[in-house]
Every structure is written in structure tokens, then in C-alpha cells.
């Protein structure tokens, strides 16, 4: 009696699927909370169909018993989580920038849940993050992410040992993303600071004016106006963030590759 599916091939496919799912769940635009679970699973199965044959052709893979297979699944989850964290850093920078923009914009009293990133945020924060996600697709950031995901299987084939993480690499990548997030928010923070200074001077010149009640709508208006002007100028920073996703995924795994 012949089997239609070889056990080793099934294990390769399932391990490939496991790493893919462990990676994409950390990318808000592909595997965020707002994406239905069936869609995530469908994306993972579809990507595994294309990536699993590469693993079969690159190395000789023999079937494993249930214990070894369970250990291999755990390895792929860890490797996928590391790669997903590196990709999530890019979106974390956007979240930091959006949070800083909304900090003094007058929207803080009306925070709502942002289902895309699964966290509370202001209206200004959500406008910026949503616009940045649209720019992510316009700049083919999803292609860059998928390219980096496929490269993880080249530098660390299926059933590879868990890579040894370098502390300096983690600190450098995290610190650079925080720095970029602060840089993105600086134009809006500067406009809001000038508004506060103007309101302070106005309170000294005309003490009878209720600056507190006047300042909130003005800060909201200036925040939205500054964001509308600043978004085109922020395109180079956003391009830098999205273009580096693939490199970060491989670098955090302790590997390098040439484009």
C-alpha cells in the first residue's frame, strides 16, 4: 500500500508553516488582531506551499519521530518569533511616533482602541498610523517583508539550531527604531510646543482670556495641520524603516545576506 504524502514532506511543510505563522502574527498589517484568524492561516498555508519545496531541494530531510518533531516545532516557533520581532520593530517605531504626536495634541482625553495595533491611541495617532500602513503597501513593504521571510529559510533551513542572539544587535536595532520614531514625531511636537508658547505669552498679555479652554481646540487644529504638512516630508524616514525590515529580520537571527 503506497502513501500519497511522504511523512518527511509533510513534516517539512508543517515546520515551514509553523515558522511563517510565528513570524506574520507580529506584523500588524498582515497578522494583526484586526485580521481574521482564517485569513492569517490561509496566508500561512499559501506561503508554505511556495517555500516548503525550496527546503526539500536544499537538503536531505528524513522523517522524525513525535518527540523530535515536537522539538523541531518549538525551534521554528522561536526562530519565527525572533524574525517577527525584528519586523515588529518597524511598526513599533510608527506607534512611538504616533503616541508622541498625540501626547500634547489635545486628543489624549479621547483615546480609543486601535484594532490594527491592538492598543489604545488618540485620533491623531490612529490617523498617522493608518496613513503609514497605507504607505507601507505603496512602497511595497509587504514584498520586502516576504523577501526577508523567505531569506530566513536560506540562512536557517528547517530544523536548524536556535541562533545565538547578540545583545548589541538587539540594543542597536531597538534603539535605532526608537530614535527614528522620535525623529518622525518632531515636526508635530515642534508645532505643538510653539502653540503652548504662544498660549503662554497670550495669558501674560491678556490674563482675562481663558487660555486653557482656548488652547485645547487650537492645539487640535495645529496638530492636524502640522500632520498634514509633515507627512510628505516624512516619506524618507518611512522608506528607511520599511526598506530595512528584511535586513533586520536576518540580522537579528545573527546572519547577513546580500540583496
Name which residue leads in pLDDT, 41 or 215.
41
165 in helix, strand or coil?
A: coil
Q: In angstroms, rounded to a whole number, what is the distance separating the alpha carbons of residues 169 and 85?
A: 13
Q: In angstroms, rounded to a whole number, what is the distance separating the alpha carbons of residues 184 and 100?
A: 9
Length, in residues, of the chain: 259
Does 240 score more than 60 pLDDT?
yes
Cα end-to-end span (Å), the chain:
46
Does 224 score more than 80 pLDDT?
no
Does 1 score more than 50 pLDDT?
no
How do residues 38-78 score in pLDDT, each as one tens digit? 888 899 999 988 888 776 655 566 678 888 888 989 999 99
For residue 144, give the nearest of 254, 33, 28, 248 by alpha carbon: 248
Q: What percent of the chain has pLDDT over 90?
A: 4
For range 204-230, the mean pLDDT = 75
Sign of CA dihedral 84, 87, 88, 89: positive
Name which residue leads in pLDDT, 206 or 91.
91
pLDDT computed for residue 108 by the predictor: 60
pLDDT computed for residue 253 by the predictor: 80
Q: In angstroms, rounded to a whole number, what is the distance separating the alpha carbons of residues 121 and 36?
A: 21
Name which residue leads in pLDDT, 121 or 41.
41
Does 18 score more than 90 pLDDT?
yes
Q: Is 113 left (phi over 0), alpha (psi -120 to 50) or beta?
A: beta
- Using CA atoms, how far residue 224 sits from 110, 127, 169, 215, 220, in Å, is 15, 9, 36, 14, 6
- Using CA atoms, how far residue 218 sits from 53, 195, 199, in Å, is 59, 8, 9
Are 114 and 129 in contact by the 8 Å Cβ rule? The answer is yes
Q: Is 159 left (phi over 0), alpha (psi -120 to 50) or beta?
A: left
pLDDT computed for residue 258 by the predictor: 46
112 in helix, strand or coil?
A: strand
Does 3 score more than 70 pLDDT?
no
Are 153 and 55 in contact by the 8 Å Cβ rule? The answer is yes
| Neighbour count for residue 29 (Cβ, 10 Å) | 19
pLDDT computed for residue 56 by the predictor: 61
- Using CA atoms, how far residue 227 sits from 47, 55, 81, 129, 177, in Å, is 37, 46, 33, 12, 20
Q: In angstroms, rounded to a whole number, what is the distance separating the alpha carbons of residues 161 and 177?
A: 28
pLDDT computed for residue 153 by the predictor: 87
For residue 255, give the nearest of 151, 155, 148, 149 by alpha carbon: 155
How do residues 152-171 score in pLDDT, each as one tens digit? 888 888 877 887 777 788 88
Partners of 114 in the β-ladder: 119
At residue 120 the predicted structure's pLDDT band, cuts being 50, 70 and 90, is low
Sign of CA dihedral 104, 110, 115, 120: positive
Does 192 score more than 90 pLDDT?
no
pLDDT computed for residue 188 by the predictor: 82
Amino acid at each position: 500500500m503506497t502513501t500519497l504524502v511522504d511523512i518527511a514532506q509533510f513534516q517539512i511543510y508543517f515546520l515551514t508553516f509553523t515558522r511563517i505563522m510565528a513570524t506574520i502574527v507580529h506584523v500588524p498589517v498582515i497578522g494583526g488582531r484586526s485580521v481574521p484568524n482564517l485569513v492569517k492561516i490561509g496566508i500561512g498555508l499559501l506561503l508554505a506551499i511556495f517555500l516548503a519545496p525550496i527546503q526539500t531541494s536544499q537538503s536531505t530531510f528524513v522523517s522524525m519521530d513525535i518527540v523530535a518533531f515536537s522539538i523541531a516545532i518549538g525551534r521554528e516557533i522561536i526562530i519565527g518569533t525572533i524574525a517577527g520581532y525584528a519586523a515588529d520593530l518597524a511598526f513599533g517605531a510608527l506607534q512611538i511616533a504616533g503616541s508622541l504626536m498625540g501626547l500634547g495634541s489635545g486628543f489624549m482625553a479621547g483615546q480609543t482602541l486601535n484594532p490594527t495595533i491592538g492598543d489604545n491611541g488618540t485620533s491623531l495617532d490612529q490617523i498617522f498610523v493608518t496613513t503609514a500602513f497605507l504607505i507601507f503597501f505603496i512602497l511595497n513593504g509587504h514584498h520586502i517583508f516576504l523577501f526577508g521571510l523567505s531569506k530566513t529559510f536560506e540562512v536557517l533551513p528547517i530544523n536548524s539550531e536556535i541562533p545565538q542572539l547578540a545583545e548589541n544587535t538587539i540594543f542597536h536595532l531597538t534603539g535605532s527604531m526608537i530614535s527614528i520614531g522620535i525623529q518622525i514625531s518632531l515636526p508635530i511636537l515642534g508645532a505643538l510646543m510653539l502653540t503652548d508658547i504662544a498660549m503662554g505669552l497670550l495669558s501674560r498679555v491678556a490674563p482675562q482670556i481663558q487660555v486653557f479652554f482656548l488652547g485645547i481646540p487650537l492645539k487640535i487644529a495645529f496638530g492636524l495641520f502640522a500632520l498634514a504638512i509633515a507627512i510628505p516630508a516624512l516619506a524618507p524616514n518611512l522608506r528607511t524603516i520599511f526598506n530595512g525590515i528584511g535586513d533586520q529580520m536576518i540580522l537579528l537571527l545573527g546572519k547577513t545576506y546580500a540583496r
